[in-house]
Amino acid sequence: MAGKTVSLKVLAAHLGLTVSTVSRALNDYADISPVTRDRVRKAADELGYSANQNARRLSIGTPETVCYLMPRQIGANVQPFVAQLLAGLGEALNDRNWDLLVSQAETSVGDMTSIERLVRSGRVAGIVISRPLKNDPRIKLLQQLGCPFVVHGRTANSVDYAWYDVDGEDAFVTAINHLERLGHRRIGFIGAPLQYQFAQERLDGYTRGVAHNGLSQDPDLVQIAEFTDDGGTAAAGVLMDLPNPPTAIVCVSDMMALGALEALHARSLTPGEDVSVIGYDGLYFGKHANPPLTTLAQPQAHAGRRLGDILLSIIDGADPIKFQELQRAHLVQRMTDGPANVDAGQEDVSVREEPQ
């Protein structure tokens, strides 16, 4: 019923003042008498006045809005981190009463078009993008458009823009070191398509860890598959069916690791005893896997907040390259890592190679 929206003009008339005075009173101009200021404030509250933002933003020349470019689903994966990221971004923006827009394009080309439109039509003052490709054309576009942005993740060449990422390479070195201490010498790697930078980074970490520890560098131990649980199952199947299978497997994501567990179960192998498996992401859900999944957990909780703060700083004029922040993942030991059991793998293979 209070459906009628009240404008500055109406409020001013109600007070017997001009819009000019009322506007300045509401915006805390110093040259407004305290008495008037309070009168105006009170009336605004009573009438439920709230400045029309389209008008205000047109006038002040900024959209006071930031856009999160939601990543498309890769494979069948849901994106459990999106809600958390948005909450954090929103928190950062709330502090100055800015708005958060969400956009998701159907295709990569669509992404380019919508970024260009979003910026050119003055709808956003900055953009956050997630999970970039190795060589992501959106970054060059944003730079050309002169639009402030921050990347959640990194590209191959990440020197000249702002990003916030978790050190996947370091994480995989950590995983390999851990497995080496448990006595593993042949460790498999289940990866995702390498056009994603995160996939490449994690493979680099695996490669470095394996070399550094003098472990087997058998190329068959590296399996790239579709970025889903089924991809993980397929890749683990290939690994375990090798003449000389690994005693441990590291996976680029928890979802792929869960798939890998299925492949072990199908071969009557016990994860964590016969074969160790380590995932990546730290999904809460892994706690309830069969058995509970050991994983490299990313510190996701503050990513959104931090990305928001960084973007606002850049919009305020800070130099983007001052914001290149690398977080560390940490190992969360649950039940799928354990001492190397060389026999188990071998035995299994010989059984399958000599059917009854």
| Binding interface with DNA (CB under 7 A) | 7-9, 16-21, 23-27, 29, 31-36, 49, 51-52, 55-56, 58-61
Distance CA 103, CA 14 (A): 41
Strands 126-130 and 149-152: parallel
Q: How far is the CB of 125 from its own copies (least distance, A)?
A: 11
Distance CA 57, CA 51 (A): 10
Residues 6+ apart with CB under 8 A from 50: none
Listed ranges 149-157, 240-248, 283-291, 326-334: which one lies at the site for its own copies (CB under 8 A): 283-291
Distance CA 79, CA 104 (A): 13
Q: How far is the CB of 231 from its own copies (least distance, A)?
A: 14
Q: Say what angle helices 197-212 and 168-181 make with each other, to 10 degrees.
A: 30
Q: Which residue in the block uniquely carries the two structure tokens 């889903």?
A: 228
Burial class (CB in 10 A: 0-12, 13-18, 19+), 196: buried
Listed ranges 131-139, 177-185, 243-251, 279-287: which one lies at the site for its own copies (CB under 8 A): 279-287
The reply to whether 321 sits near its own copies by the rule CB under 8 A is no
**Residue 205 binding partner per list DNA, its own copies, none, with a CB distance cut-off of 5 to 8 Å that depends on partner kind:** none
**Residue 36 binding partner per list DNA, its own copies, none, with a CB distance cut-off of 5 to 8 Å that depends on partner kind:** DNA
Listed ranges 23-31, 57-65, 208-216, 324-332: which one lies at the site for its own copies (CB under 8 A): 57-65
**Residue 330 binding partner per list its own copies, DNA, none, with a CB distance cut-off of 5 to 8 Å that depends on partner kind:** none
Closest CB to its own copies among residues 120, 322: 120
**Residue 159 binding partner per list its own copies, DNA, none, with a CB distance cut-off of 5 to 8 Å that depends on partner kind:** none
| Region 141-160 residues binding its own copies, contact defined as CB under 8 A | 144-146
**Residue 100 binding partner per list its own copies, DNA, none, with a CB distance cut-off of 5 to 8 Å that depends on partner kind:** its own copies
Residues 6+ apart with CB under 8 A from 18: 12
The reply to whether 117 sits near its own copies by the rule CB under 8 A is yes
**Residue 287 binding partner per list its own copies, DNA, none, with a CB distance cut-off of 5 to 8 Å that depends on partner kind:** its own copies
Other CB atoms within a 10 A radius of the CB of residue 45 amount to 9
Closest CB to DNA among residues 4, 288: 4
Strands of 222-224's sheet in order across: 222-224, 187-191, 248-251, 276-281, 294-297, 330-332
The reply to whether 70 sits near its own copies by the rule CB under 8 A is yes
Beta carbons of 22 and 8 less than 8 angstroms apart:
yes
C-alpha distances in Å from residue 178, one per residue of 145, 201, 247, 248:
45, 18, 13, 11
Contacts with its own copies, 125-144, as mask; x by CB under 8 A: -------------------x
Residue 128 token pair: 């956050």
Closest CB to its own copies among residues 49, 206: 49
Number of Cα atoms under 13 Å in the Cβ half of residue 280 = 32
**Interface with its own copies (CB under 8 A):** 1-3, 5, 48-55, 57-58, 63, 68, 70, 73, 76, 78-84, 86-87, 90, 99-104, 116-117, 119-123, 144-146, 229, 258, 261-262, 284-285, 287-291
